[in-house]
Structure 1
Amino acid sequence: MRKKIHLAFGLGIAVEKIDHREEGWVVSALASGTRSCPGCGVVSTRRHSWHVRHLQDLPIQGIPVTIALQLGRWRCRNESCSRKTFVEKISTAFPFARRTARVGEIIRLFGHAAGGRVGARLLDRLAMPTSHNTVLRHLKRHASASKLKAPLRIAAIDDWSWRRGETYGTIIVDLERRTVVDVLPVRSVESTEHWLRQHPGIEIVSRDRCGLYAQAIRQGAPQAQQVTDRFHLLQNLREAIERQMERVSRFAGRSLLPAGSDAKREAPRQASREARLALFQNVHELHSAGMPITAIKDKTGLALHTLRQWVRLDDLPARRHPAPTARSPASFKDFLKQQWEAGNRCGRHLLHDLRHRGYTGSRSHLYHFIAEWRRLEPDESRNIKASPTPHTPLAETKAIDPVTGWQISPKVAAVLCLKPTRLLTPRQALKVKALKQASPSFVTMRALAMRFRGLMRSKEPSKLEKWLEKVRHAAILPLQQFAKTLRRDLAAVRNAITQPWSSGQAEGQINRLKTLKRTMYGRAGNELLRARMMPFDFVNETVNGMPDP
């Protein structure tokens, strides 16, 4: 019984025969397309010759398929047209393309989801062999020609780092549709302003407290309302509280060890020295008994050169310490000692001076180095400044964690200051109680912080002025500086209270961007990064009504 197989390769394509060769199925077909000249648009009826196009199509039963498509070449009847002949167009593939439109769409889908090399390996396994360069080329070409499907009304703007602390880019997110609109390679007023001018329909822009974007929005989209992100407002408040707690606790962010900690730290060192001395004596006993060094090596596990040195010595040698480098504060010990005796005991100031003298180590390494000197000083000499500032109450004392006995760091104190009582764990509640008992300024800041959290959810911007007035009367310098910056951006802060929009979507998209940037290694240029950040339905547009090649 003979069966007919109907294969759909597109409108106007008639299959003549199917052959199975080494490279896969080869479908010979005759196509009938539009005969209008691409130069002048005149329809031709005079055939010049035949033209054969070879197009890659979807596989059949896991075997690659190539369509040998026979098309007519026609003469242009318009004498003034620069074209003399042309090949008729078909809806199955773009002109000059080597694959059908549906295969091109699948290639873009794999490139968007998996990238170039991974996508190429998957396509090869699915019997659609394609190079990774072709995958990336399809994706980037389509993304460059894509346009917004609907006008952008509400957007979020934030920065992301190419290299943290050095170069940054800009990301724009549509908050209504929760999709990325564009990824800019730089962070500047000019580039952001130029982009905003191309989208005059923007009504609301959510941003962080970066003055760069505020200026760009004022110049590029003056009609738009600016909304400060509430998370960044609370973060800036936490940083102000942390600065105040640093002033109160009189140290630059590092917890001081409790009394008696030196003995605890010295105990494991002493045990290590005693174990090493016992091993040294054991080696001498074995060597005196006539045991060869190689046998001693197998018994003790020590290296041969160490054993040869030990058997020639009567006393255990001290451990060799590496020579200090520019990354070690020990290289600048004389200078640090001189500054310490002169009364300069602020970690930040010492770090600043060392940087100018070639120090390349970390801040925490320096703080650990001077902590040994700080512990040898009496308690009253740990103050960074000689006299208390007029904004710091004299009744401030150290807040000690009742569980560990360690001093509570400014960072922990700032986080707890912003956390509501109902969300505190039992251990955190004990820390808050200790902070309240030790620091009157913490009590004031916690009351102001709770009012500010409630203000962000109240939808009543009229309460903001009262809060700013309370901060002014509180006489806490870091909070007054925070309030001063709020007054400079008062309209955007008020909009943050009344509007439901925030930059949360932008922050989430930045996390996704970082993941893509790291997985693509050196190929993560802005063009490719932008193409993969766009949603696939956004990327999958047509160019002038024709599918992408």
Structure 2
Amino acid sequence: MPSTRTLATNLLPLAHGLQLRDVSIGPDQIVATLEATAPRGACPGCGTWSAAVHSHYQRTIADLPWGGQAVRLHLRVRKFYCRQLACTRRVFTERLLHVVASYARRTARLESVLRVLAFALGGEPGARIVERLGMTASPATLLRLIRRVTVSEQPAPRVLGVDDWAFRKGHRYGTILVDLEQHQIVELLPARSAEPLVEWLRAHPGVEVFSRDRAPAYAEAARKGAPQAVQVADRWHLIQNLVEALERCLLRFRPALKVAAGAGDSVLGPLPDSRETTLVPWQQRAEAVSQQRHASKVERYKQMRTLRDAAFTVLDIAQLVGATRRTVYRYLALGGPPERQQPQRSGRRVRAPYEAYLIQRWAEGCRNRSRLFREIRLLGYQHSARTVSLFLKRLEQEPSASTVASSRPTVTRVPSARRVASLLVWHKDQLPEEERDYLRRLCDQEPTIALAYDLAQEFAGMARERTGQRFDAWLTRVTTSGIPELDRFARGLTDDRAAVEAALSLEWSNGQTEGQVNKLKLLKRSMYGRANFDLLRLRLLQAV
């Protein structure tokens, strides 16, 4: 078997002018004594070689652990006389830069491992893992190792993706730049205004395709910093803007949404008033909260209407009322005050598919509630036993409840205008049969929605199939459709027409950039409040 000295010789960095003198293994650490053996040393000031030894001294350095046990190196090095009369140094210490840096207390390979852990884990988590691996480094030390790294300058990408990201949502934002061809982050900017991006583009000429969302600041930055680049609007944001326009349109046809869902008076008759039923305490609280919220919405609606009648702009109304412009547009598009949404007592009941089985077993004489609960669990029930117990308690107290439960009609929950707007842009073949039937009933109920559905499908098809040559014909159809919400959406597209046509024709889009933003968010949230811009930028650009 190899001796301890032989093993130490193989594990220690002895290939750079060092010789092992001694190894001692203690209860808590391993100590190895090394000595420099080079015949001469080079002066760090003037570079002159010297063999005149002045003296010796010992450095204590930490090295990589062996089997989880700490390793300390006692390194004996020499001091030499510098014979160059013009040099400011008279005595210098020999350097062993391949093993340890000047004035360092850790070997280069240990520092390299710590730096990798710092980039991957950050300060606090990294320090905990380092301790478990038999090394020693504080969170602040790991962060200093990150800050010492210099990011190498990358060549300018040919296809650049740009998007914003939030330091703190609603308060402070930055900009992320992504090379869409190489699938890697190029740079992180501390603001989302045009000026920093213009400076970066001018310092990195060569961008041919500039993919962005529809923010005016990024469009201006591309025009000023990279006028030769083809701007491409993000297709996801285009579809999102279309969905928002469809939502505002559908809000004008709320009765049609109810009738198509089977919740209108023509199908089921009027829904029972919540005051006709006995409410348990939590339902009473939910009812009170619902009424309070609805009253505030009605008051806000009246304020918006009053300000609009007084010729205030949408932006002024949003600032005075304390709402977003999107909310103002949505409220002003309503024909009257917003309806109150009843607490969801009449919605989908999780035990409804199993009530018939429970009633049958109860009629057969089974009164063991735990057994009945286990039986419907085997049938696929995945909710609490209390819900089943309350139903069985009703059967025990009111035998007629079994007849009521079995004959109770299923009330279809009316989808929101937002949900229906999303369905209008989905590929028809990818929708479930139930939702396709709903859209068919909705279009039969209201011709305006049918026309909006046709226009939405045509635009979504252009985005999916990259058939931008049909954009002019689509614009003509929209402007003559008589649907004001889609006409406003089309006018917004014409203001950024070149980027929109490029988005409907070229393969590039900002989906990959959004994925990198998600990576940034994950990294930022794992930094425990230490996500200063310099640290976040370094960790993101050097992510392992």
TM-score (norm 2): 0.71
Q: In 1, Cα distance between the equivalents of 2:89 and 2:539? A: 39
Q: Does 1:141 align with 2:148?
A: yes
Q: In 2, Cα distance between the equivalents of 1:50 and 1:330? A: 86
Q: Counterpart of 1:303? A: none
Q: 1:163 to 1:342 in 2, by over 3 A?
A: closer
Q: 1:149 to 1:425 in 2, by over 3 A?
A: same
Q: Counterpart of 1:86? A: 92
- Deviation readout 1:266-292 (Å, 9 max, x if unpaired): 244x3548x9xxxxxxxxxxxxxxxxx
The counterpart of 1:208, out of the listed 193, 213, 237, is 213
- The DSSP-based 3-state class of the residue aligned with 1:109 is helix
Q: Counterpart of 1:378? A: none
| Structure 1 counterpart of 2:274, one-letter code | R
The counterpart of 2:166, out of the listed 146, 154, 161, is 161
Q: In 1, Cα distance between the equivalents of 2:296 and 2:467? A: 57
The counterpart of 1:442, out of the listed 437, 449, 460, is 449
The more displaced of 194-203 and 257-266 is 257-266
- The DSSP-based 3-state class of the residue aligned with 1:169 is strand
Q: Counterpart of 2:55? A: 49
| Cα contact 1:180–1:535 (8 A) shared by 2 | no
Q: In 2, Cα distance between the equivalents of 1:530 and 1:426? A: 48
- Deviation readout 1:229-268 (Å, 9 max, x if unpaired): 1111111111122222224449999x99866767352244
| Cα contact 1:258–1:407 (8 A) shared by 2 | no
Q: In 2, Cα distance between the equivalents of 1:404 and 1:460? A: 42
1:97 positional shift: 2.1
The more displaced of 432-441 and 197-206 is 197-206
| Structure 1 counterpart of 2:459, one-letter code | F
| Cα contact 2:60–2:105 (8 A) shared by 1 | yes
Q: In 1, Cα distance between the equivalents of 2:46 and 2:275? A: 91
| Structure 1 counterpart of 2:61, one-letter code | L
| Cα contact 1:329–1:359 (8 A) shared by 2 | no
- The DSSP-based 3-state class of the residue aligned with 1:15 is strand
Q: Does 1:35 align with 2:41?
A: yes
| Cα contact 2:246–2:485 (8 A) shared by 1 | yes
- Deviation readout 1:113-146 (Å, 9 max, x if unpaired): 222111111111111121111112112322xx11
Q: 1:94 to 1:464 in 2, by over 3 A?
A: farther
Q: In 2, Cα distance between the equivalents of 1:248 and 1:2? A: 86
| Cα contact 1:161–1:167 (8 A) shared by 2 | yes
Q: In 2, Cα distance between the equivalents of 1:140 and 1:252? A: 57
Q: Does 1:514 align with 2:482?
A: no
Q: 1:31 to 1:195 in 2, by over 3 A?
A: farther
Q: Counterpart of 2:78? A: 72
Q: Counterpart of 1:414? A: 421
Q: In 1, Cα distance between the equivalents of 2:503 and 2:16? A: 55
- Please list every run of 5 or more consecutive structure 2 residues that lacks an aligned counterpart in the other structure: 343-408
| Cα contact 2:300–2:321 (8 A) shared by 1 | no
Q: Counterpart of 2:192? A: 187
- Please list every run of 5 or more consecutive structure 1 residues that lacks an aligned counterpart in the other structure: 276-317, 375-401, 538-549
Q: 1:226 to 1:35 in 2, by over 3 A?
A: farther
Q: Does 1:14 align with 2:19?
A: yes
Q: Counterpart of 1:58? A: 64
| Structure 2 counterpart of 1:58, one-letter code | L
5 Å matches for 1:434-473?
Answer: 434-473=441-480
| Cα contact 2:82–2:89 (8 A) shared by 1 | yes
Q: Does 1:237 align with 2:242?
A: yes
5 Å matches for 1:82-481?
Answer: 82-90=88-96, 91-142=98-149, 145-148=150-153, 151-249=156-254, 263-268=272-277, 270-272=278-280, 356=320, 371=339, 404=411, 407-481=414-488
1:65 positional shift: 0.7
Q: 1:272 to 1:511 in 2, by over 3 A?
A: same
- Deviation readout 1:449-489 (Å, 9 max, x if unpaired): 22222222444433222222222222322222222222232
The counterpart of 2:29, out of the listed 10, 15, 24, is 24
- Deviation readout 1:294-338 (Å, 9 max, x if unpaired): xxxxxxxxxxxxxxxxxxxxxxxx99x9999xx9676899x7899
Q: In 2, Cα distance between the equivalents of 1:229 and 1:25? A: 59
Q: Counterpart of 1:528? A: 535
1:68 positional shift: 1.7
Q: In 2, Cα distance between the equivalents of 1:358 and 1:488? A: 28
1:218 positional shift: 2.0
| Structure 2 counterpart of 1:88, one-letter code | E
Q: Counterpart of 1:496? A: 503
Q: Between the two proteins, what is the percent identity of the paired residues?
A: 34
| Structure 1 counterpart of 2:275, one-letter code | E
Q: In 2, Cα distance between the equivalents of 1:373 and 1:108? A: 55
- The DSSP-based 3-state class of the residue aligned with 1:522 is coil
- Deviation readout 1:188-246 (Å, 9 max, x if unpaired): 11111222223223332211111111111222223332222111111111112222222
| Structure 1 counterpart of 2:62, one-letter code | Q
Q: In 2, Cα distance between the equivalents of 1:431 and 1:463? A: 29
| Cα contact 1:55–1:100 (8 A) shared by 2 | yes
| Structure 2 counterpart of 1:153, one-letter code | R
Q: In 1, Cα distance between the equivalents of 2:317 and 2:193? A: 32
- The DSSP-based 3-state class of the residue aligned with 2:49 is coil
Which structure has the higher relative contact order (CA within 8 Å, separation 6+)? 1
- The DSSP-based 3-state class of the residue aligned with 2:206 is coil
- The DSSP-based 3-state class of the residue aligned with 1:127 is coil
| Cα contact 1:169–1:187 (8 A) shared by 2 | yes
Q: 1:233 to 1:58 in 2, by over 3 A?
A: same
Aligned residues: 455
| Cα contact 1:242–1:411 (8 A) shared by 2 | yes
Q: 1:344 to 1:323 in 2, by over 3 A?
A: same
- The DSSP-based 3-state class of the residue aligned with 2:514 is helix
Q: In 2, Cα distance between the equivalents of 1:470 and 1:167? A: 41
| Structure 2 counterpart of 1:468, one-letter code | L
Q: Counterpart of 2:397? A: none
Q: 1:519 to 1:215 in 2, by over 3 A?
A: same
